[in-house]
Amino acid sequence: MRTVNTSQVIADSKFNKFHLLVFLWCAFLIAFDGFDIAMYGVGLPLMMEDYGLTTVEAGTIGSYALIGMMIGAFLLGSLSDLLGRKNVLVICILLFSVFTLLAGLAPNALIFTIMRFIAALGMGGLMPAVISLMTEYSPKKNRALIVATMYCGYSIGGIAASLIGMYLMESFGWRLLYILGIIPLFALPFFLKQFPESLSYYILRKQGGKIAGILNRVDPAGNYQETDDYEYASTKEKAKGFPVKKLFQDHRAVSTIAFWVAVFSCLLMIYGLNTWLPKIMQDSGYGITSSLSFTLVLGIGQIGGSLLGGYLVDRLGHRKVLVSMFLTRGVLFHLTQYDFQPDPAVCIDCDRRSMYGRNPESGESVYL
C-alpha cells in the first residue's frame, strides 16, 4: 500500500479538463456574487425614488447587507469542515438566489432589507469557499494566476450589472436586477453533478474511493486506488483544534492582523464604490446611464489588476506585489477626490434621452 500526498499530486499536475471544470464553476459562482453585490449600487438611485428613501436610510440598508456577509463568511466558513465546501456552496446558492429574487419583489423597504440581509449571508459564505476550492485544485506552477483569473468573475458580474443598469433598467426598473439573481438556482442540478468536493473533506472521513476518483482526473497517469494511504492520520492531526486559533499560533499573530487590516481596507473601498459610485456621479451632474459607466470602468480596472497581480505574484512573490499595489491604490484613490464635476456645462446622457444643464445661480443640475 503506497502513501499518497494529495496536495503534492495537485501541485505537480498540469492544467487539464478537470481543472477547467473547477475553474468555470468557481468563476460562474463568484460572477453572480459580484453581480449581487454590485446590483444594489446600480439600482440604488431608482430604488430610493421608489421607496422614498433618504441617503442615510439607503446607507443603512447597504450596511445591513455587509453585516449579513460578515456573518455568512464566519458562520458558513466554519461549517465547511463539517458539511464540506461543496455543500456549503449549495447553501450559499440557495440563499442568495432565492432571497435576492424575494428582495426584488419586496413591497417596501423593510421587507427588502430583511430579504437582502438573508441573501447577504449566502454572498458572504460563497467567496471564501470558492477561493479555497480553486486554490486547492490549482497546479502550483500557475496557482496565483489561475486563482486571480477566476476571481475576475467577480468583476465580470459587476460589469454585467452595470450594463443591465445602463441599457435595461430605465425601461424595466431596478427590480429586474434582483429578478435575474435567481439564475444560479437553475444551474444548481448541474453543479451538484459536476463539481467536486474538497479532498480534505474526504481525507478526514477516509473515503479512499472518492479521493482516488478525483486524483485520477487530476493526474490520469497516477492510477490511484481506494486502498492507497492518503495520509489520513497526519491530516486528522492537523485538523484538530479551533481553526481561528491557528491563525495566531507559530508567530502568525502579526501577519494575521496585517492581513485583516489590508483586507478590511480593500473591502471598504470595493463595497463603498460599488454602493455609492453611481449615486455620487449622478449627484455630480451625470445622467443615470453615464453614472453607471463609471462602475463599468471600475470593473474593467479590477480585471486588469487581478490578471497583472496574479502574473507578477508567480514571479516576484506575494509580498512585493501586495505592497506595490496597495501603495499604487492609495495614491490613485486619493486623486479621485478632486473635482467630480463634469467639465462641460451641458452633459448629454449617453442614453440619448436626457439633456442636463446647470443653473448658474443654484449650481443644481436641471433638465433642459
Provide the pLDDT for residue 280: 76
Q: Is residue 355 within 8 Å of residue 286, measured between CB atoms?
A: no
Percent share of the chain, pLDDT over 70: 89
Give the residue among 296, 280, 58 at the shortest CA–CA distance from 167: 296
User: What digits encode the pLDDT tens for the residues 200-231?
Assistant: 899 888 899 999 999 999 998 888 998 888 88
User: What digits encode the pLDDT tens for the residues 79-120?
Assistant: 887 888 999 999 999 999 999 999 999 999 999 999 999 999
Give the residue among 180, 177, 78 at the shortest CA–CA distance from 129: 78
Provide the pLDDT for residue 239: 67
Helix (H) or strand (E) segment spanning residue 65: helix 55-83
Provide the pLDDT for residue 354: 39
Provide the pLDDT for residue 298: 80
Beta strands in the chain (DSSP E): 347-348, 355-358, 365-367
Whether residue 135 has pLDDT greater than 90: yes
Provide the pLDDT for residue 358: 42
Q: What's the mean pLDDT when you consider all of the chain?
A: 84
When pLDDT is averaged across residues 337-341 and rounded to a whole number, the result is 60
pLDDT-derived band at 293 (thresholds 50, 70, 90) equals confident
When pLDDT is averaged across residues 43-67 and rounded to a whole number, the result is 90
Provide the pLDDT for residue 242: 67
d(CA 123, CA 95): 8
d(CA 159, CA 144): 23
User: What digits encode the pLDDT tens for the residues 16-48?
Assistant: 999 999 999 999 999 998 898 889 988 988 999
Residues of 1-13 as b/e, b for ≥16 C-beta within 10 angstroms? eeebebeebbeeb
User: What digits encode the pLDDT tens for the residues 328-338?
Assistant: 877 877 777 66
**Is 241 exposed, middle or buried, given 0-12, 13-18 or 19+ CB atoms closer than 10 A?**
exposed
Domains and CATH numbers, the chain: 6-341 (1.20.1250.20)
